[in-house]
Each structure stands twice: as C-alpha cells, then as structure tokens.
Amino acid sequence: MSGRTVQTDAPWGLARISHRQRGSTEYVFQPTTGTYIYVLDTGVKITHQLFQGRASHGFNAVGGSNDDLNGHGTHIAGIASSQTYGVARFANIISVKVLGDEGSTTTSVLISGINWAVQDMQNKSRVGKATTLLAVGGSFSAALNSAVAAASNSGLFFAVVAGNSNTNAAQFSPSSEPTACTVGGTTINDAKMSTSNYGPLVDIFAPGQQIPSLGIASNTAVAVFSGTSMAAAHIAGLGAYFLALEGPRSAAALCARIREVATQNVLSGIPPGTDNLLAYNLSGL
C-alpha cells in the first residue's frame, strides 16, 4: 500500500482492523476523500472539532432539535469518520435523526429516514460513493427489511447491527435483511462479545467493546461505549474507505468485498453456522 498513514497510540479497534494479527497499537490507512456516510441515529454533534467541519445535519424525522442530546449518534459517527477515532478519516457525515433523545423510535420513522437518505444520495449523485450506518435494532419487521432492501438495491450500502442479545440475528430487524451488511461485535482479545448476536445472517465481525470515540459534553469530548453499534460503525466507515480506495460498487458487492478480504478464523466464541470473519482494511500488515 503506497502513501499510507500511520497513527500511533490508536484506538484498539482501528489498530485491529489494519492488522491481520492482534496486539498492534497503530492504525495504518490511506487518506481517502470523496465519500459520504449517512448516520441514522440520535443526531450528530456536528460542531465537534474532530469532525473538522465535515459533518452536517441532513434530515430530522423525529422533530425537535437537530442536535444529538443522547450521545449515541455522535459516538458511532465518530467511529465511522473523524480524526483520531474514525475509520474513514475524511469522509463526510450526514446526520439523519431517526431516534428521539431517549433513543426510541418507530418503524415508520426509520423508513422515512432511509427513504430520505436514498433520495439525497440520488439527488446529489452520490451513488457508489455513500454508505449508511443504521445502528438500530428491534423485533422482526418485514416493512423495515423491505425498506432496507430497496435502499440497498438502489446502491446505498447499509451497515447494520447484529444486536446485543446473544442470540440469532435472524429474529430481529434490520439484521435479518440479507441485503444489509450485518455486523457482530468483538473484544480486544479477539472473542465474540458475550452479548453480540450471531448466526448465518451475520456478515462480518468488527471491534465493539470499550470503543473510544466522540462525546457530546463539549466540542472536544470523548466517550467510551460498547455494543454492536460500535462494530457496525467500523463497517460503515470501512465501506466508505473501500469505495474511495477501490471505486464504486453496488451495496451487495461492497459487503462481499469486506467479507472477501476479512481476516478468517481468528475469533473465539463464534457459534457453529456463523462465519468467523473479522474486518480488515487491506493495509498489507
């Protein structure tokens, strides 16, 4: 890999996805630009200094303030793309607020956010340049799965959470939607997080435990959270990174590419019938 950048003392998750073996403290990547990540969540603190002005408010489906008064949306957005804590350092973040300040929502609100992101992608000629982070999970919903499938088929890649119930992801939505890239969570010791869902519909695993990223207490705040939301955020960022690095791909082809280059069979605690694949960014290390 030519022109690569090395971040020392990097967050463990970033170091992990840029090395085949665990234990490194360096994040190795190429600076890439020109991609977009739609973050469908509680909003994003767009004024945080580590977004460097690349985050913006796109759509608010829940009413009230555009700001993130919860913290979840800002944290996962920072993992996907921010200085110091982000996978895709120079991607643009578009906040689509589909969760209220307490973190709750409805299927219809989620679908409205998904549909807005698709329209925005199409209107601004971002097909093949955009990924979506949907770190929301609930009971099985054919309507939600259909909305994600339609969006994926239009060219918008979806990184979604496997969920945090230590059970089969097929029971939930949108993790049960095959066209989404469903993400399970891992620990610093290369184990499946005890809470992470699993099963044949989980496409990829990524770091999810004790992940540092951006907080909302100030424009320089840092917070540490755990969950498959954090894992999915790594994949939304990695998807954008690969689109910039290797060129446009369909949503299905991008998830297939992430799976193709993943580090195989290094994770412990992966149940039978679940692919043992850990995200990797092709750093060459």
The CA distances from residue 208 to 34, 71, 235, in Å, are 26, 16, 11
Q: Cβ-count burial of 13 within 10 angstroms (0-12 exposed, 13-18 middle, 19+ buried)?
A: buried
Tokens standing for residue 18: 């840029």
Residue 67 a catalytic site member = no
CB atoms within 10 A of CB 66: 16
Choosing from 19, 48, 72, 234, the catalytic residue is 72
State how far the Cα of 28 lies from the Cα of 7, in Å rounded to an integer: 6
According to DSSP H, which parts of the chain are helical?
12-17, 72-80, 107-123, 142-153, 228-246, 251-261
Q: Scanning the structure block, which residue is given the tokens 């690969």?
A: 242
State how far the Cα of 29 lies from the Cα of 88, in Å rounded to an integer: 9
Residue 75 a catalytic site member = no
Q: Check residue 125 and give left, alpha or beta (phi > 0: left; psi -120 to 50: alpha).
A: left
Residue 229 a catalytic site member = yes
Choosing from 18, 81, 213, 229, the catalytic residue is 229
Q: Which positions are annotated as active-site residues? A: 41, 72, 229
